[in-house]
C-alpha cells in the first residue's frame, strides 16, 4: 500500500511499507508478536506468547517421588512442626502407656487402692491362694483385709464369716448356736459378745474348738455384760480362749 506525505516545496514522496517476506532485496519491519502468533509463526498447543514476544509452555508434569533426591528426611527439616517438645511428649504421653486398663494382665507397684475402687472380689479373695497371689503389693481397705469390726445379725443359729470379719460383735437377745466359717491357717479372730438388758444369754459352738484348760468358757450373764472370745487357727485346729467381764 502507498501513503502520500506532503513535503516542503510542495513535492510528494511515496513511502512504501512491506512485510518481512517482501521481494528479494527489499527490507522492512517485522510482524509483531501476538498471543497467537510469534513473528508470523503460529504458536502450537501447550504454548503461549505474550505481547512482548515471551514464549511459555503451559500445563503440569508429574514427577515420581522415587526420582526426587536430596530431600529432608523429617517433617521438621521441611519446616513443619506441631509444637510438641520431647519433654512435653514424655510428660503427657508416656504415662498413657502405663495406665491401668480393665483388661489384660498388669503389675501394680507401690499403688494405693481405696475400697471403692475394687469390685467383683469374693469375700475370700484376700485369703485363698489363687486370688491372694494376684495382690502382690499395695493397700486395700480394712473391710477387704478382714480386720474391720462389724456387728453380726443375731439369730438362734448365727454364722460368723471370719474370713471377711476377723473382728465381729455378737449382740445377744437369746440363746445362740454359733458357726465360725472361712478360717485361714495362721488366722486370728476375735468375737465381742454382748448381753442385752436381760442377760444370762448362752452361746454354744457348732464349730469344733479346743478351749484353754479343755473347758468351754461360761460367759458373763449380767445384763449388758461384755466378753471377748479369741480364736487362733493353725490350718487344722481352732483354738479358743475367753476374757470376761469387761465393764
| Residue 158 three-state SS | strand
Examine the domain organization and report whether 160 and 242 are in the same domain. Answer: yes
Whether residue 117 is found in the same domain as residue 161: no
- Report yes or no on 50 lying in a domain: no
**Where is the domain boundary, 123, 145, 167?**
145
Q: What is the mean pLDDT of residues 16-26?
A: 46
Whether 130 and 187 share a structural domain: no
Please indicate, yes or no, whether residues 234 and 152 belong to a single structural domain of this protein: yes
Structural domain contains residue 19:
no
pLDDT interval class at 125 (50, 70, 90): very low
Domain membership flag for residue 170: yes
Cell numbers placing 117: 475402687
Highest-pLDDT range among 42-56, 106-120, 135-149, 155-169: 155-169
The model's pTM is: 0.45
pLDDT digits (tens, 9 = 90+) for 155-197: 999 999 888 788 999 999 999 999 999 899 999 999 999 999 9
Q: Is 120 left (phi over 0), alpha (psi -120 to 50) or beta?
A: left
Looking at the structure, tell me whether residues 155 and 228 fall in a common domain.
yes
Q: Which residue has the higher pLDDT, 12 or 101?
A: 101
Q: Are 227 and 155 found together in one domain?
A: yes
CA distance 178 to 184: 18
The better pLDDT of the pair 182, 67 is held by: 182
Residue 208 confidence (pLDDT): 96
131 and 213 fall within a common domain: no
Q: Give per-residue pLDDT as tens, 37-58.
A: 656 566 666 677 776 767 776 6
Instruction: Tell which of 100, 122, 145 closes a domain.
Output: 145
Say yes or no: 198 and 117 in one domain.
Answer: no
Better pLDDT: 106 or 168: 168
Say what the pLDDT of residue 83 is.
Answer: 66
The domain boundary, picked from 145, 167, 187, lies at 145
In a shared domain, residues 124 and 171: no
Residue 234 has pLDDT above 60, yes or no: yes
Most confident by average pLDDT, 28-37, 131-140, 151-160: 151-160
Note whether residue 67 is domain-resident. Answer: no
In a domain, 168, yes or no: yes
Q: Does 120 fall in a domain? A: yes
Average pLDDT rounded to a whole number, residues 81-96: 65
Are residue 124 and residue 163 in the same domain, yes or no? no
Number of domains composing the chain: 2
For residue 14, what pLDDT is reported? 45
pLDDT, residue 126, reads: 46
- Same structural domain for residues 153 and 219? yes
Closest CA to 167 of 151, 182, 189, 185: 189
222 and 191 within one domain: yes
Boundaries of domain holding 195: 146-246
Q: What is the pLDDT of residue 84?
A: 64
Closest listed residue to residue 120, CA positions, set 137, 144, 138, 142: 144
Please report the pLDDT score of residue 105 as a whole number.
72
| Any domain includes 81 | no
Amino acid at each position: 500500500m502507498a501513503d502520500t506525505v506532503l513535503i516542503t516545496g510542495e513535492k510528494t514522496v511515496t513511502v512504501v511499507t512491506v512485510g518481512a517476506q517482501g521481494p528479494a532485496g527489499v527490507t522492512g519491519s517485522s510482524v509483531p508478536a501476538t498471543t497467537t502468533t510469534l513473528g508470523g509463526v503460529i504458536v502450537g498447543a501447550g504454548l503461549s506468547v505474550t505481547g512482548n514476544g515471551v514464549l511459555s509452555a503451559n500445563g503440569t508434569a508429574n514427577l515420581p517421588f522415587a526420582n526426587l533426591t536430596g530431600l529432608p528426611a523429617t517433617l521438621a527439616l521441611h519446616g513443619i512442626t506441631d509444637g510438641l517438645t520431647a519433654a512435653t511428649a514424655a510428660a503427657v504421653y508416656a504415662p498413657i502407656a502405663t495406665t491401668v486398663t480393665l483388661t489384660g494382665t498388669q503389675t501394680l507397684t507401690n499403688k494405693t487402692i481405696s475400697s471403692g475402687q475394687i469390685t467383683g472380689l469374693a469375700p475370700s479373695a484376700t485369703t485363698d491362694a489363687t486370688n491372694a497371689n494376684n495382690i502382690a503389693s499395695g493397700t486395700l481397705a480394712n473391710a477387704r483385709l478382714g480386720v474391720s469390726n462389724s456387728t453380726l445379725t443375731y439369730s438362734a443359729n448365727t454364722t460368723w464369716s471370719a474370713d471377711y470379719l476377723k473382728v465381729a460383735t455378737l449382740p445377744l437377745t437369746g440363746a445362740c448356736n454359733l458357726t465360725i466359717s472361712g478360717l485361714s491357717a495362721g488366722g486370728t479372730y476375735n468375737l465381742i459378745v454382748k448381753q442385752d438388758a436381760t442377760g444370762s444369754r448362752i452361746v454354744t459352738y457348732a464349730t469344733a474348738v479346743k478351749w484353754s484348760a479343755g473347758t468351754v468358757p461360761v460367759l458373763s450373764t449380767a445384763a449388758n455384760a461384755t466378753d471377748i472370745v479369741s480364736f487362733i487357727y493353725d490350718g487344722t485346729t481352732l483354738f479358743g480362749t475367753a476374757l470376761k467381764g469387761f465393764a
